[in-house]
Structure 1
């Protein structure tokens, strides 16, 4: 990566909202053009962790749930948040078990993504989980989830026809499809 210094100058920064998951900052800035401006930054207190479990038959699992901010139902890869200071693999293992009941013996980190780098510093990681064993799910007390097992190619098709729109899911499924020649 290139080592490029920021052309932005932060004049002031004020936390305007803070809860256990996010912190919102209002910042007065000098833009790269030299003009004064403002910036709003959403800081996430967790890393986004997404997992693509793949079994011996080439099937994967999707999780369906109603997403409050979107006011719509969403099909996604199993995912969740991992504390910033926590090991990302341990967070991925926990999320996969909670949402699908799956335990994987083989893990591969296939990528890092910024979910919306114009307004947030959220960082996401995608794992492929293989050599799977089915156990019981451990849903969070706020979740009502549907779990669906389907061919990996069908999940990729859902990305391509916009039935899957979540950024971690889109990135992860397209990357794994490319890596596996689908």
Structure 2
């Protein structure tokens, strides 16, 4: 828990100042002056983001929509579930999940269930990924952005998608978490 200087308590972090070092539409890189739990002062650099969503879209045959595309920051092609950023105009993560599923795959869903939220890279960023489970699928046309022109949509049996996670071939944290949660909850 972080308190600002007026709410400082021993044993907790306290933020004294925060400065935006770089801001883009996707994130804000900040440098805080903070008081650590031991009472010492330090600089703490971190990235603030709006978060993201990931969707397990399961059809009536037990298959999951899975994407494959080049991921720039990891310099390679990856398997992942439909996923994307929560936009400033999205009032709730579920709204972003519905949009991302439709944009990337052309799929819309009748039933939605929140699977949970996972923190990603805690010491580096506040980034959270909200995982959803979608059923009652209807198929349409994807609406890809220019950076997604190489995105391929596949339909894999749930167990095969889960095997990609267990085998280390789907390293995307949100996708791994969503598939594992769906299995743990008996949904897939």
What is the TM-score of this pair, normalised by structure 2? 0.88
Q: In the alignment, what sits opposite 2:57?
A: 53
Equivalent runs, 1:157-176 vs 2, <5 Å: 157-176=163-182
Structure 2: gaps of 5 or more residues: 1-8
Find the aligned partners of 1:39 and 1:15 in 2 and give their Cα distance: 12
How far apart are the structure 1 equivalents of 2:76 and 2:142? 23
Q: 1:38 matched to which residue of 2? A: 43
Instruction: Quote the RMSD (CA, aligned, Å).
Output: 1.8
Q: Which residue of 1 aligns with 2:143?
A: 138
**3-state secondary structure, aligned to 1:176:** helix
Check if 1:98 corresponds to 2:103. yes
Please report how far the alpha carbon of residue 119 of structure 1 lies from its aligned counterpart in structure 2 after TM superposition. 1.4
Q: CA deviation at 1:5?
A: 8.8
After superposition, the C-alpha distances for 1:54-100 in whole angstroms (9 at most, x for unaligned) are: 01111001111111111111111100112255222221111111111
Question: Which aligned pairs between 1:6-155 and structure 2 lie closer than 5 A?
Answer: 7-44=12-49, 46-84=50-88, 86-143=91-148, 144-155=150-161
- Cα displacement (A) at 1:50: 0.6
Deviation at 1:145, TM superposition (A): 0.0
Q: Secondary structure at the match of 1:69?
A: helix
- Count of residues in Structure 1 that have an aligned counterpart in Structure 2: 178
